[in-house]
Amino acid sequence: MVQNFPEIRTVDVTRYITPLREGGSMPALVEADDDFLYVLKFRGAGQGAKALIAELIGGELARALGFKVPELVFANLDEGFGRSEPDEEIQDLLRASEGLNLALHYLSGAITFDPLAERVDPLLASQIVWFDALITNVDRTPRNTNMLLWKKELWLIDHGASLYFHHSWQNWEEQALKPFVKIQDHVLLPLATDLKRVDEEFKGLLTEQLIDSIVNLIPESWLLLDSPFESVDEHRSVYAQYLNKRIAHSVNFVKEAINAR
């Protein structure tokens, strides 16, 4: 099987349109120099670069597994971009985020997925549950599904709260082997009846080469911020080792999900 490794475009943000005041990250709707609209995630907000790294890894892993995910782009904010912004809080955020950020293509007209109104196929539900257990995504609950319906298809968004092991780096090898207890709160868990089948299929798709190609997309400037490692290469290597170890021992989080059902 020939694998297509991901590539990320870089755009320059040309216009700040409006804040999307959701959670602590304060993303915004912006326009870029390619004339497309994007949801911009700021490096200077909330959990900073680590949230962008989780968004990047989670989004590209999801895409590699065949899920619908908005295109991710690196979004450059020029120095002084926010000087004319009248809102001081937003101005501070823009100044703190000068340089490279991450943005998702804006799905105009998309609506939030409603688990009471929409039925998801058990196989797709199982695939999403498996994926979220892999990346330890705490943000796919009935309260906040982080899924959109666009053109009658289900799209996954917002993976910045996943991979929470990297907020401390303590015992990351052990963290890679742990089940994901929070899977009990997953909005699609009741429908996830094909987890064992999905486990066999998805483990074959996520090769070490693919993992390396995704981890290598992380900008060096993000990895240099608050890094506990001696080099950028070592930092990237730990992300890859964590993911490969977790995939190799997926039985741990699959069993947890099945028991939680």
Q: Residues 14-62: pLDDT tens digits?
A: 999 999 866 556 899 999 999 999 999 999 987 899 999 999 999 999 9
Distance CA 188, CA 160 (A): 19
Mean pLDDT of 148-167: 95
* pLDDT tens-digit map of 197-208: 999 999 999 999
User: What is the token pair recorded at 250?
Assistant: 């997926």
Mean pLDDT of 78-89: 79
Which residue did the predictor score with more confidence, 117 or 240?
A: 240
- Structure confidence at residue 6 as a pLDDT band (50, 70, 90): confident
pLDDT over 80 (residue 5): no
pLDDT over 60 (residue 253): yes
Mean pLDDT of 129-146: 96
Q: H helices within 26-181, ranges in order?
A: 49-64, 88-96, 122-134, 172-177
Distance CA 71, CA 63 (A): 9
The pLDDT score that the predictor gives to residue 3 is: 61
Q: Are strands 9-19 and 37-41 parallel, antiparallel or unpaired?
A: unpaired
- Structure confidence at residue 196 as a pLDDT band (50, 70, 90): very high
- Structure confidence at residue 1 as a pLDDT band (50, 70, 90): very low
Chain mean position to CA 104: 10
Helix (H, G, I), strand (E, B) or coil at 26: coil
Distance CA 176, CA 173 (A): 5
pLDDT over 60 (residue 2): no
Q: Are 73 and 105 in contact (CB under 8 A)?
A: yes
The pLDDT score that the predictor gives to residue 22 is: 62
Mean pLDDT of the chain: 93
Chain mean position to CA 232: 21
The pLDDT score that the predictor gives to residue 91 is: 87
DSSP string, 148-210: EEETTEEEE---TT--GGGGT-TTHHHHHHS--GGGGG-TTGGG---HHHHHHHHHHHS-HHH
Mean pLDDT of 3-18: 89
Q: Which helix (H) or strand (E) holds 100?
A: strand 99-105
